[in-house]
A = this chain, B = another copy of it.
Amino acid sequence: MPTGHIMMAMSLDGFVARKDHALDWLMQIDTEGEDHGFLTFQESVDAIVMGSGSYRTVLGFDDWPYIKPVIVLSRSMRRNEIPSALRNKVEISQIEPADLMRELGGRGYSRIYVDGGAIIRSFLHEGLVDDMRIAIAPVLIGDGIRMFGEIPKDIELELQSVEQFSSGLVQLQYKVR
């Protein structure tokens, strides 16, 4: 079974995006010249799993930011919605998280990047996340898509590292106990 890994930015009040998936509050922070380790992190994983909301947000970026295969977990998305330039990089799956992880293990994958609010929550709740890197943005946005949701019981974490950036971002790395 591969391990799940999270690298995500959230506002100090715990949102990964506004309700409409907008990231303006994050994009307006001047992080020029800062290396938050995204490329190194991405190089450490074998594939990326995300929901359709995150996929559509990323699709709106100027450049496709992923260098690894992307699996979009969605019951409603169809393959013909994927732009042809991305068809060899993106696949759609309807499999449940644990089954998907087993399937990805069968492909020889050992580390999976778990991305996007709803997907992160479901993988966390099912105990499929090994560690997480959370960049806390210096802003309160009040409402939006929560990074974490309700859970059947507490999830204890072990702090592994703290990194502070001049933009005001603080990246916390935790191992899930």
Nearest B residue to A125 via CB reads: B142
A117 nearest CB across to chain B (Å) = 12
Which one, B147, B158, B168, contacts A168 given CB within 8 A?
B158
Which one, B12, B13, B147, B159, contacts A170 given CB within 8 A?
B159
Q: Please tell me if A35 contacts chain B, counting CB pairs below 8 Å.
A: no
Chain B residues near A13: list those with CB within 8 A.
14, 146-148
Nearest B residue to A147 via CB reads: B13
B-contacting residues, A70-115, CB 8 Å? none
B-contacting residues, A153-177, CB 8 Å? 153-159, 162, 164, 168-170, 172, 174
* B138/A157 in contact, CB under 8 A: yes
Q: Please tell me if A118 contacts chain B, counting CB pairs below 8 Å.
A: no
What is the copy number of this chain in the assembly?
2
Q: Mark A45-64, 1 if CB is under 8 A from B, else 0.
A: 00000000000000000000
Which one, B139, B152, B157, contacts A157 given CB within 8 A?
B139
A156 to B155 Cα, complex, angstroms: 29
Q: Please tell me if A39 contacts chain B, counting CB pairs below 8 Å.
A: no
* A138/B12 in contact, CB under 8 A: no
Q: Which 10 A-B pairs have the closest CB atoms?
A: A142-B151, A159-B168, A13-B148, A14-B14, A138-B157, A140-B155, A162-B164, A142-B150, A138-B159, A143-B150
